[in-house]
Amino acid sequence: MEQAIPHYRDRVGLDQVGETEGDRAFFRGFDEFDRHSIILREADTPGLDVIGFKVASDRDLDVFKKRIDAMGVRTEEIPAGADPGVGRKIRFTTPTKHVFDLYADMEISDTAPMTKNPDVWHREPRGMRVQRFDHCALNGTDIVGSTKIFVEALDFEVSETVVDESNGTELAVFMSCSNKAVEDLPKGVTGKIDKFALRQEFRNNLDRLPWTV
């Protein structure tokens, strides 16, 4: 964490939110409204703990929980406050062995984008000037089963697929629940993350730093 925090804060350009809590540090992009969008946890090996999706209302949590339960997928309710500034969450694990949280409430950042007589930003962004979390790619073997949960229970839409033309096997599925982030489920080692992507507006932002670490 001693090296990771300066990397994400000063080089990538994420805003660190509050103080480090135990083995966790919280970050957000300068163009995001919610308190945080990325949590780093100190660990011996790289990996992914959980991915969270925000839903429109607290009532929607119960609706989605009922749908997921009906598909035979076990759900767990996480009480409010398990993560700072976040309300209650519904947790489930997909057939690709990835853990997901659904939540409806999160505190608004003190430096969220201004909406009344706005300036460009509260303070000039740093490093690569990352705006927000954009999308992720998750590896797993049962991508058909996982896709079914997102489409039938959570109202995601499939935007693209990659198919083996010799046998019709789906090799990757791209999904979205808005006009922004896309989740990609490529076929691969179960439970692994292939990548997560952060959006920044201009290519030349990447040239602001010397590429030496």
Q: How far, CA to CA in Å, does 65 sit from each of 77, 87, 158, 204?
A: 9, 15, 21, 43
pLDDT digits (tens, 9 = 90+) for 104-138: 999 998 888 888 888 877 888 888 888 888 888 88
Domain boundaries, the chain: 4-208
Into which CATH architecture does domain 4-208 fall?
A: Roll (3.10)
- Quick one: which of 120, 126, 123 has its CA closest to 208? 126
pLDDT in tens, 156-167: 999 889 898 999
Q: Answer yes or no: pTM beyond 0.75.
A: yes
CA distances from 9 to 6, 30, 55, 71, 83 (A): 5, 11, 27, 40, 20
The Cα 130–Cα 202 span in angstroms is 10
Has residue 187 got a pLDDT over 70?
Answer: no
